[in-house]
Structure 1
């Protein structure tokens, strides 16, 4: 049995690297398409300002992309280093989408990003525009395959346990690719990335207006960002609803924990807008809105949403059923041709992961007591209150950006943004919010899946490598230090580019001396108050 502290440190290390990496992913997704939109406008109109806009935002995209690559590569190595049994047990399934992501998407994006920067004088306008769109598509294809792999951890379809190899193996690769969880996660995640890019562009544009410089670039960029951001913010909320509906079908414990719903309510279940633990175990005190949860998660008036207590009882049943598969595996160790044991495994293997939860309490799980089974079933409940509040933070930010971009689009379409100083200040102040919401969403997805590395199949503690506490402590400190340094470097570089403004980066890339601002500075004073 793996030391619990080793498991916790392994989880903390992967969480730290994933959260650092996800600081860069949303901005890459958002900026890539906005660059393509700006360059498309340049090709259609021939106006030089749009080329300069594409180069300016493309430079910031390039810095962010480089940091994303540097932080993302390490994560894949951690599957072999920190989660060796995970890699052995499900590597045949999980490794395929990651390999395709590298071959199909990452190489596409990495190749064409070079042509984006160095191909302006070597390609035709249309040819370079195609390159820019391929960069954007590559970034989104990369996200697609990563999320297909992650979705399989949430809802493992298209694979079965092979008692001869003691591993999960693919039986239907199409089911893995078209996993309904993957579809919902992809559209929701990329939409959140588009919002992040739109907020970033809108916020920097607002900063330029407040400073009274680069007015034309700022105004045009903010129009693009406002329209793109409004559509994306609406998509995030709508597609987030779809994610909740699918999670109700495949990860109902996560939904119950997010709502702090311990007891099953009569259908349709109510929604806790805010809540706090009450005096009694499982009691929630707060603002409760009838019907909302049931309508969102089941889309019906008569389907119940099970509470945590009922789900724990169901987990006990699955643990007992999974013990049948585990015991049959022991029979196969001595009699590989035992047809009865193979039949039992084929019927009960989907619950064997629940039986493995008992490994946290004893090695000879076939002799587990009722008390140990009850304790293992209780372990299927993730930490309720962190999930409860993280979810509400994410939702609140999502609805805020709908209102934010609706107002911004209205003012931008009328050409009056520069006259609303308070809104420009708010736009700059709101820039960290999409990252906060994105990280919250990632925490909900991964933290809410606990105690599973693979939902219902492989407990997290069972997936860890046999490393020492010292190994993990040193590597965790190293990763956090290096990633923090990289994040600081990225911020410094971006600030330098933003301060320099839309200079002729094409001339700089070609080795020419270009110290002056390439855009004619406006003589306007900083934005006045409304």
Structure 2
């Protein structure tokens, strides 16, 4: 396989996936914030809460449309750019995607139109129920997508069938309740709630700074502060749970995140700062907090956190075992009834994917030299510097979000929305931060799985379609231009909605330009 084709295929999927996920978190969070705002309207019957709900609903609608458009493109790539991946694991991977389309997507797509156009056609309670179903469908879509992604990270409930030469489902319950998938879902959804809360908080702060639509801005800011504080705290707690899940299921990823080249004495310390050195396999200038990593990763004082060097040695053992499985598969291709080969495969079949790593260096993995085995084992180490720093920037933003929302909650509780203009400015500038953290989180999740498309099962370089570099460059440039255009449209529409304000022209209680005198800052 041409390495350039592999790299371009990965680049195209990474570009479309990261772009798609600019829209997903805002959709996830705004959907349930709309439920909260409309619930207040139903309980109080105050028209201002209807205005608030409809305003943020317009921003939700713009974002929702762009999210759907970019998501469809991304899913089609499994058939166009990753055809062997689809062939090899489609029986397992395709099921959650199909359920997402049939159950979750159609649920939100069916009710989203009713939510936008049913305000004057449904009772208040019925419309609230529709809004809740849209939010439920949106979050269920994320659930099934992350079940599919979680299986890629930790493939359970499936085995390789030497008769069909494909992976097949053996326990769909194990796929559904995969601990990695469940941890990823709650962590990702909570991050989406934080993202939406920051957007609502920042836009509300902008209105307060400009002295515009203050009554709407104050109430929106209060909802965002409370919802955002709870969500940001849950992100940290659930992130800790994700770290614990890595200890049992993705040890190499955890070691790369910590730049832990060697297994440290228990309990391991958490590296706050360091410079990973890829040549010496050491981390220079380390600053550690004693015991913390051991407590997070093992929930104990005596549990070990494996280092990359030790994990590479285990990978070498699995590659050698996988060579036996590969030889057995070659025999079974010619003689499916060969019981001796079936017995060998039964003992070594779980390591077949590790033998496939050797195809980067030799056509027949069973003939690989010890040096080739060693090189293939070191291929299981992901890009350590990128993993190390991406995680730390993401975590730092997470703690900044807690501080931001705690301050906002305090100001709202004391009804001092307008008294701290420094904070209002900070809230506006903080709007991009959750997206930075979320995109870095996906980099950690996906780069940390490399060199695997399916961890331990299918190497990424074997999963692609037979395409040329020219074809990939053409589609990559096309997607870049298309998505760039969509990004400009999205930003312009949202900015126009913000400038227009929360009221329709016929119901705006303020002057035509929307300005009212800003409340002076007290000493």
Specify if TM > 0.5: yes
Match of 1:517 among 499, 504, 508: 508
TM-superposed deviation, 1:386: 0.4
Whether contact under 8 Å (1:215, 1:522) holds in the other structure is no
Secondary structure of the 1:417 match is coil
Give distance in 2, aligned partners of 1:475 and 1:518: 49
Counterparts of 1:91-130 in structure 2 under 5 Å? 91-130=90-129
TM-superposition CA deviations, 1:147-193 (whole Å, max 9, x none): 00000000001111111111110111111111111110010000000
Partner of 2:33: 34
Give distance in 2, aligned partners of 1:336 and 1:389: 49
Give distance in 1, aligned partners of 2:19 and 2:124: 36
Partner of 1:194: 193
Partner of 2:496: 496
Partner of 2:50: 51
Give distance in 2, aligned partners of 1:244 and 1:326: 33
Whether contact under 8 Å (1:210, 1:527) holds in the other structure is no
Aligned residues: 520
TM-superposed deviation, 1:517: 3.0
Partner of 2:415: 415
Whether contact under 8 Å (2:212, 2:515) holds in the other structure is yes
Give distance in 2, aligned partners of 1:402 and 1:392: 16
TM-superposed deviation, 1:343: 2.0
TM-superposed deviation, 1:426: 0.2
Give distance in 1, aligned partners of 2:206 and 2:103: 38
Query: Which deviates more, 330-339 or 223-232?
Result: 330-339
Give distance in 2, aligned partners of 1:254 and 1:460: 16
Partner of 1:482: 482
TM-superposed deviation, 1:516: 6.5
Whether contact under 8 Å (1:212, 1:527) holds in the other structure is no
Partner of 2:428: 428
Give distance in 1, aligned partners of 2:13 and 2:176: 24
Partner of 1:381: 381
Give distance in 2, aligned partners of 1:358 and 1:427: 51
Give distance in 2, aligned partners of 1:499 and 1:82: 41
Give distance in 2, aligned partners of 1:270 and 1:361: 37
1:132 matched to 2:125? no
Task: List runs of 5+ in structure 1 lacking aligned partners.
Answer: 505-513
Give distance in 1, aligned partners of 2:414 and 2:76: 51
Q: Compared with structure 1, are the counterparts of its residues 518 and 81 closer, same or farther at alpha carbon in structure 2 (3 Å cutoff)? A: farther
Counterparts of 1:228-267 in structure 2 under 5 Å? 228-267=227-266
Query: Which deviates more, 280-289 or 385-394?
Result: 280-289
Partner of 1:394: 394
Secondary structure of the 1:427 match is helix
Counterparts of 1:106-505 in structure 2 under 5 Å? 106-277=105-276, 280-504=280-504
Whether contact under 8 Å (2:210, 2:515) holds in the other structure is no
TM-superposed deviation, 1:277: 3.5
Secondary structure of the 1:260 match is coil
Give distance in 1, aligned partners of 2:510 and 2:247: 53
Whether contact under 8 Å (1:266, 1:304) holds in the other structure is yes
Q: CA RMSD in A?
A: 1.3
TM-superposition CA deviations, 1:427-469 (whole Å, max 9, x none): 0000000000010111111111000000000000010111001
Secondary structure of the 2:288 match is strand
Whether contact under 8 Å (2:147, 2:181) holds in the other structure is yes
TM-superposed deviation, 1:529: 6.6
Secondary structure of the 1:425 match is helix
Q: Compared with structure 1, are the counterparts of its residues 397 and 66 closer, same or farther at alpha carbon in structure 2 (3 Å cutoff)? A: same
Whether contact under 8 Å (1:502, 1:518) holds in the other structure is no
Give distance in 2, aligned partners of 1:519 and 1:182: 49
Q: Compared with structure 1, are the counterparts of its residues 359 and 519 closer, same or farther at alpha carbon in structure 2 (3 Å cutoff)? A: farther
Whether contact under 8 Å (1:269, 1:304) holds in the other structure is yes
TM-superposed deviation, 1:519: 6.0
Q: Give TM-score, length-normalised by structure 2.
A: 0.98
TM-superposition CA deviations, 1:346-375 (whole Å, max 9, x none): 222211100000000010111100000000
Q: Give TM-score, length-normalised by structure 1.
A: 0.96
